[in-house]
Amino acid sequence: MRLLFLGAGGTGGYFGGRAAQAGADVTFLVREARAQALGTQGLRIESPRGDAVVMPQLVTDSQVEHPYDVVVLSCKAYDLPSAIEAIRPAVGPDTAILPIMNGVLQYDILDAEFGAARVLGGLCQINATLGPQGQVRHLGQHAVFVFGERAGEPRSERCVALEAALADAAFDSRLSPAIQQDVWEKYVFLTTLASATCLMRGTVGQIVSADEGEGLVRDLLRECQQVAAASGHTVRAQADAAALKVLTDRESGMTASMFRDLSQGGRVEAEHIVGDMLHRARTLGLDVPMLRVAWTHLQVYQAQREIVA
């Protein structure tokens, strides 16, 4: 099975690099400058699961000539339009496209571009970034890669082949029989976390330790769960308990990656995460006052950032 990972940043670099290290046929589609650096230094991974240097197979936009079996997208939402154009030459009649991005809006976009039958469901859980020398820095033991068919036979030929290709990689991979439910449960958790930490400019522990903080977080979570339920994906009891445990931990230093990007003055996936959740709520006729506040706050941040730029 030939795998193409778009980009070799923190997330794609870790999962793709570990898969290549385990013997999978992995190619990275990267920009010319990144290709030159990786070709010289290799893809360097620093991780509690073990450091590694992988000499990767690389292509740039102009070098993609043949279709791949699976194309993995781990880009930020605001880069999705350019990512779609970059992968077009790599998509053939039998190519599966596997986004491991945050949110659910990417499926509407990818389905319209390539057809729903070509688009698998996927998600990942990892804290990874690029270091100052371009190395992939994995922060912690946690690294989970989940994928599956969104319709039809869960253990399809292509998913079983991907399961085998990733079996020996240094991360936890899982072929899910209910990937859309898994994606929605992550979306509910992430939207709550991003809304709360961006709005309050603090960690989970700092927020829920405030007088009204835990109530605020619970209200956000409840609103997001209402949207999921009305969309046909009621959050399961186990996922609800796990989310509440994390989101009400007064000792937690957790923040959303969106908050970390915001704190550095960077671009954020606000429209794709919080904005889309609010849009879906309105379409469904749901009253979600906390999401309205969070989305307005993020819009103001983006407007201020554009003025500075």
**Residues acting as catalytic residues:** 186
Give φ, ψ of 11 to 5 degrees.
Answer: -75, -55
CA 73 to chain centre: 9
Distance CA 16, CA 84 (A): 19
Look-up of token digits 């190619």: 27
Supply the Cα-derived Rg of the chain in whole angstroms: 19
By three-state DSSP, how is residue 3 classified? strand
Compute the Cα dihedral for 242, 244, 250, 255 and give only its sign. positive
Distance CA 273, CA 106 (A): 10
Q: How many CA atoms lie within 13 A of 216 on its CB side?
A: 21
Look-up of token digits 């230093």: 253
